[in-house]
Homo-oligomer: A and B are copies of this chain.
């Protein structure tokens, strides 16, 4: 645990700057608007260790990096998020010497990400022998105008002498990825032009041999300042504008950079992109920085109005949930149906690709409750559109049906570790589960029986081909998988995977009864095939241990040395930073909910005793080293009225990055798991479920909280739920009257205004 920012309900703020924590600071102060985003690196030169990262949604490169012994079915390329052309960097000189907080003496430092508005600001006073200058900087990527990045700086001379100020403002294609092997670069400059106060750079991703799209990006910078524009020396890969001026004692000067970023994802031709870029630049130039900022503030206020979770009596927890929602919405707010929710968002490069099962498993429930149903519908459609890729993936493995990828940009598997891509196939169950979840929550069967049914059929066909029949044990088995617990690889009969496979076959068969016969025909789905699905589902092996009364995570698991986590030397944790991969794989330690993930999905289908026995067996063996782990445990613990455990788990998920729990936040934030704190509060503490089309709550208030309040959208209604130790109040803020269940009581809700 490492906390470098102060506790504050709405701000990520610090008044100290530690060079050793620079990357962590950068991750924590990332900003984004779904379309683009960036880490919190300083605008000006910084000679210390730093990770400059700017990323554009949907822009990637298929990297050929073969090592080891290639085998049939391996994905041809490793799809990676690439660092965008750098439109942020400035070089700011005072009396001819660059400001560089790694070298300069400075005072009055403040760094603040305002989560209410999405504006990142910074203040410091440069203390040099020849000058003393106060600098303030603000920047944001606009959620009101997605192509806009705005950066405003002020310089105040606190010295008795005049100070010369010189700023080089750049758009620079000379960028690298952190994970490059040979310092390879991905952007080729296509065009550059500049005048004294503005510049344009067009760059294209270098050609690739895999037939995936090449991307072009155009960036136009413009400036507002009373400094004087003078000719600048440009390099081959950058456009530069230079501004100079004299800061008289006790006076200040402002400098503002605006950049419009467009990409070929939105424009069919370079001419159209040129025109749009110019037009957007013209538009924003008609507005002041204050106006641009106001639009940003208004847009964020609207988001918070719908989604804010208020916690009384625990500011740290309050900051945690807001930070998570802020970063999640900065990554994805459902505005571009071609995008998805990358696990690192715009905060780092780790994990390569854009889309993981995290979306369906952890993000869908949140977006269902906090956004218009169309947003979740878009997430489902995203997979439907990638169904041809999923068929391709299954075919690559010699299997029928559709296998949705573990990591992808385009539907084709683009990660390269067989134990993940070939074996972590439980993801395919979760793609189906999200359709079920959407349908259950919205009550809308339209998707499930149309596009959704194509997806379900593809997935069911995959499972029906992926099982094998064991003559010895007289049942269907699934060998060679990796469960959600990635601390085991290539196991046999992972209970969770087998459960999901069985469930998909049954669910698809059920939905088949409701779809139009022409759809069955179109999909060539015969009664014979459906009977086979039944037979497999009915005879699926689900490992269990009678003596212990538990489901068994996978074959041989109980043969391990089952020392509990609490009995390990605590300096060995987190295991993934202290143990070799070999040792981890052989250990019984569970990275994230595995059997318990299955119990979570179908929580109403198990007896309290089943849930309790499994929780009590597996949780003490779980190290929660995936950021996706604590939330599921919080929900189950709450369900089992283990309130202390639920709160402990909530605390790990809520401030995972704020407190750098897993000691890896410097690589970027754990975006998709940021849904976890919301799930823990709403599905955990408040016990929200949907049962037979009815919303159900069973809330409690954690001991150290006074109370909490949240909103949910449900079937055209907006509900406000207020919980404290005395009572739970549920109000209908919008929509038709509705009856919900509270602690097994039926409560009829009508609009207050209607009363």
Contact = CB atoms under 8 A, between A and B. Distances in A.
Contacts of A581: 71-74, 418, 422
A470 to B, nearest CB: 5
Interface string A547-565: 0000000011011111000
A326 interface: no
B559 A473 contact: yes
A72 B577 contact: yes
A415 interface: yes
Contacts of A479: 556, 559-560, 586
Contacts of A584: 71
A297 to B, nearest CB: 39
A480 B555 contact: no
A550 to B, nearest CB: 13
B67 A585 contact: no
A579 B69 contact: no
B561 A480 contact: no
A582 B480 contact: yes
A423 interface: yes
Interface residues of A, number: 60
A182 interface: yes
A64 interface: yes
A622 B178 CA distance: 45
A705 interface: no
A562 B471 contact: yes
A397 interface: yes
Contact of A179 (B66, B78, B418, B556): B66
Contacts of A64: 181
Nearest to A578: B72
Contacts of A36: none
A582 B69 contact: no
Interface string A76-100: 0010000000000000000000000
Contacts of A492: 556, 559
A184 interface: yes
Given A73-B581, A181-B182, A398-B579, A472 B558 contact: yes
Given A71-B584, A397-B582, 12 more contacts: A64-B181, A65-B181, A67-B416, A71-B581, A72-B577, A418-B582, A422-B581, A469-B561, A472-B559, A477-B559, A492-B556, A556-B556
Interface of A: 63-69, 71-74, 78, 179, 181-182, 184, 350-351, 396-399, 415-420, 422-423, 468-473, 477, 479-480, 489-490, 492, 555-556, 558-562, 576-586
**When A and B form their complex, which 5 residue pairs have the shortest distance between CB atoms, in order from nearest?**
A73-B580, A71-B581, A422-B582, A397-B580, A480-B586
